Amino acid sequence: MKKAFLFFAVSVLFAGFLAIAKDPVESGTTFMKDALMPYVADGRLPGAISVLYKDGIQETTCIGYADAEAKRPISMDDVFMQASQTKGFCGLTVAILIEEGKISLDDPVSKYLPEFKTLWVLDSEKDGIRTMHQAKNVLTIRMCMNHSGGFPFEIPAKKSNLKGGGWTGGAPLRQTAAIAAALPLTSEPGTKCGYSNTGIDIAAAVVEVVTGKPWELFLKERVLDPLGMTSTTFFPTDEMLKNRIEMYAVYPDKPAICLKNVGWSQRPYNGRNVFVSAAAGLWTTANDQLKFYKMLMNKGVGDNGVRILKEETFMKFLSQTTRPKELPNDWYSLGLDVPYSKDDAGWLGHGGAWLTSAYVNWRTKRLKLWVVQIGDGKEFWSKDRAEAEKKFFEYEIDSTSQKNYTGRTTE
C-alpha cells in the first residue's frame, strides 16, 4: 500500500514537473542585432523582432521602434497583424475536429455546406461572356485547406468593400462561403495549386457548422486560451492598439515612411468594418506567437504542458504535405507551409503579407520568428538576416541544463 502511494505521489510530482514550462536561457549572442543595426541606425528599417531558438537556448532581439515617429521602442508585447500566418490557426482547428472524428479531410464540403454540391468551372471569358462547365471533381475539405480547390485569392465582396481591401472588409465566414459557391472556379478541384484565402475561409465555415460556434470562438476555446495566448484576437481593444507596431514603406536608399493606411487593413482596426477571416487578419504579439509555434515544435504540446493535439495527428496532418504528389509545389499541409529539405527536414510554418514569418523544426527543436510590419517595399536586409540565422544555428552553445525544456509531453 505504501509503495503504491509512493508511486502515485512521485507520478503526480513528475507530471507537475513536466507541465511547468522553463524559460529558455538567453544565448548571450548578438548575431541578429549586429546584422540589423546598420539598417536601423539610418532609419531604413524602423524596427524588428527576431527570435532564434535551439534546444532551450534563445537569442531574442528587439531592435528599433514600433513607432519611429514617437520613438517608442519595439517590444515582444507590442501587437501586430500577422496576416496569412492566421492560416495555421485554421489548420489546427481542422486537425482537432479530424482527431475527434467529427470530420474527415476528404469529406465533400457539400456535406456541411449544401451550396457546394454543384460547382462550375470557368473555361473562358470574353466581352463579358463566360463559358463554363460543371465541375467533375468533388470539392473536399483537403482541397480548401491546401489551396487546390480552384478558388480565387479573395471573393469580389472583399475586394470591393474597401479600395483593394479585404481583411477589414468583406463578409462573415458563412456568407463568404456562400458567395464563393456561386462563383465559377478557376480550375477543376484538386488539379491545380492556387493560393487562396477563400478556400481557408470555406474550411473555417465547415468548422462553424460542425461545432455550432463561430470559428473564432472555437479557436479561442480550444487553442488560444489553453496556450495562454491572451493578446491574440481579431478584435484588438483600443488599449491594445496603443502598443501596436506601425506599418511602414521601406526603401534601400532613404529612411522608411509610416503608412497611415494600407488597402488590406484599414483603420479603425477594431471597428464595425472588421470581419473575421480564418485566412488572415489575426492580431497577436511576439510573445503569444512563440506559444503557438513552440507548441508546433513540440508536436502538439504547449510550453505550459497543455496538449492541444495528439502527436500522431500532428505528424499525419500538419507536419507533411496533404497535396497529391503530382501537383507542383506540393509542400503544403493544413494552412502551413512544410518546405522539404533532405538535409534538414522537419520545418513548418508560414509567412504573412507584412513580411512577418515563423518556422519551427520539430525534428531538431529549432525556431526562427521574425516580426516587422512592412506594407510597401522589399526586405533588402534579407541576406544579412539569413546569415545571422545561420551563425546562430551553427554556434556551439552548451545547452545541457536546458535538456528538460524541450521534448516534454503531457496529455
241 closest CA partner among 282, 272, 281, 283: 283
Q: What is the pLDDT of residue 397?
A: 66
Q: What is the pLDDT of residue 159?
A: 64
Exposed, middle or buried: residue 134 (CB in 10 Å: 0-12, 13-18, 19+)? Answer: exposed
pLDDT digits (tens, 9 = 90+) for 199-246: 999 999 999 999 999 999 999 999 999 999 999 999 999 999 999 999
Q: Indicate whether 174 pLDDT > 80.
A: yes
Domains detected in the chain? 24-61+74-398 (3.40.710.10)
DSSP3 helix / strand / coil % (the chain, rounded to 5):
35, 20, 45
Rounded alpha-carbon distances, angstroms, from residue 277 to 153, 215, 283, 286: 13, 9, 12, 20
Q: Which residue has the cell 513552440?
A: 294
Element (H, E) at 385: helix 382-394
Element (H, E) at 386: helix 382-394
Q: Indicate whether 377 pLDDT > 90.
A: yes
Task: Give me the residues paired with residue 67 across strands.
Answer: 72
pLDDT digits (tens, 9 = 90+) for 96-107: 999 999 999 999
Compute the average pLDDT of residues 17-35. 78
Higher model confidence: residue 282 or residue 157?
Answer: 282
Q: Indicate whether 342 pLDDT > 70.
A: no
Stretch among 87-91, 280-284, 330-334 having the lowest mean pLDDT: 330-334
CB neighbour list of residue 161: distance below 8 Å, 6 or more residues apart: 169, 170, 273
CB neighbour list of residue 180: distance below 8 Å, 6 or more residues apart: 151, 155, 198, 201, 202
Q: Quote the pTM value.
A: 0.89
Contact 80, 285 (CB under 8 A): yes
Q: What is the pLDDT of residue 405?
A: 35
Tell me the pLDDT band of 5, cut-offs 50, 70 and 90: very low
Compute the average pLDDT of residues 61-84. 97
273-310 core/surface letters (b: 16 or more CB in 10 A; e: else): ebbbbbbbbbbbbbbbbbbbbbbbbbbbbbbbbbbbbb
Q: Which residue has the cell 496569412?
A: 84
Q: What is the pLDDT of residue 78?
A: 98
Contact 355, 242 (CB under 8 A): no
Q: Indicate whether 396 pLDDT > 80.
A: no
Q: Give the HSE-up count for residue 308: Cα atoms under 13 Å, Cβ half-sphere.
A: 34
Q: What is the pLDDT of residue 270?
A: 80
Q: What is the pLDDT of residue 344?
A: 66
Tell me the pLDDT band of 402, cut-offs 50, 70 and 90: very low
